[in-house]
Structure 1
Amino acid sequence: MEKSAKWEGKASAKLVRPTASEVWALVADFFSLHKFLPTIDTCFQVNTLVRHCAASASGHWCRERLTAIDPAEKRLSYEVVDSNMGFKRYESTMKVMDGGDEAGCEIEWSFVADPVEGMSCEDLAKYVAVGLQGMATNMEREGVGS
């Protein structure tokens, strides 16, 4: 596949209060995405590695399979296996990093996808970035670790 035939993007969000370990505990709970990602209101386990996520406001849904999880690196990867959003291939990685000298932590959400009809790479990147910012806001508001 030619490089131009795939979309790639990355977003990051800084959290002031929670530590990387506290945020990782939420991210690593693969079947609880709806608890902190504001665009998703339903997320449940289909089988050992597959979750079903849905957004009632848009009617969109997808089934995602966990492909890798590394607690030491605080990194989780998954792929879309079925959806009504037009994805042929979508692979994503979420990583939680320490804040370094500063308190808090940072979440990075990256993706590689085949082009989706009716959408641009910029649209998908914006969707990921907005979702991640909402997720970070919810984690801060919920007082993770407090």
Structure 2
Amino acid sequence: MESESKSKKWVGRTTACFPATTVVEAWAIAGNFCAAHKWLPLDTCCKIEGEENEPGCIRLCGSRLNWVKERLVTFDPVGHAYAYEITESNMGFGNYLSFVKLIPAGEEGCQVEWAFEADPVEGWTKDGLVSYMQTALEAMGKAILLNNGK
């Protein structure tokens, strides 16, 4: 039984609603694939291969102890969505695919959805990963408000 639970993919999703931020305002922060350091607790996030915001672009994101290389799989600036996968990291990730989408919410707001499919990650729990993503979305909200002077 133990090996069965370890072999199942994790699927998770988190959302955050920003009632005073339009999709366009939020996309100005969330829609730049190589600028995740503007809203995540990272020391760096930079393009290392390909064209920015074009499928195939590879970014390197890191903090003092951890790093990850991620490849942009799809990018839809009109639909305010993209998907990316982890290609290498020192954090134990194997197969990991993530989806980010911004959708209107109310007259002046938006909702950000961040979902993933991943192999179980040693040292993490699925709930821990979802919690990390929720914290990151809250940080994104603060960065959006600061960027827009709200």
Offset, 1:143: 1.9
Superposed, which structure 2 residues align to 1:1-146 within 5 Å? 5-37=8-40, 39-48=41-50, 49-56=57-64, 59-100=65-106, 102-143=107-148
Structure 2 counterpart of 1:50, one-letter code = I
More displaced stretch, 9-18 vs 84-93: 9-18
For residues 43-89 of structure 1, give each alpha carbon's deviation from its aligned partner in whole angstroms, at most 9, with x where no partner exists.
00010100000122xx1110000000112221110000000000011
CA RMSD of aligned residues (A): 1.8
Contact 2:37/2:44 (8 A) holds in 1: yes
Give TM-score, length-normalised by structure 1. Answer: 0.88
User: Structure 2 stretches of 5 or more lacking a match?
Assistant: 51-56
Three-state SS of the structure 2 residue aligned to 1:17 is coil
Q: How many residues of Structure 1 are paired with residues of Structure 2 in the alignment?
A: 140
Offset, 1:28: 2.1
Structure 1 counterpart of 2:71, one-letter code = R
Aligned residues with identical type, % of pairs: 37
Structure 2 counterpart of 1:7, one-letter code = W
User: Structure 1 stretches of 5 or more lacking a match?
Assistant: none
Give TM-score, length-normalised by structure 2. Answer: 0.86
Stretches (4+) displaced over 6 A: none
Q: Separation in 2 of the partners of 1:41 and 1:95? A: 24
Structure 2 counterpart of 1:116, one-letter code = V
Structure 1 counterpart of 2:16, one-letter code = A
Q: Larger relative contact order (C-alpha < 8 A, sep ≥ 6)?
A: 1
Offset, 1:20: 0.2
Q: Separation in 2 of the partners of 1:139 and 1:28? A: 11
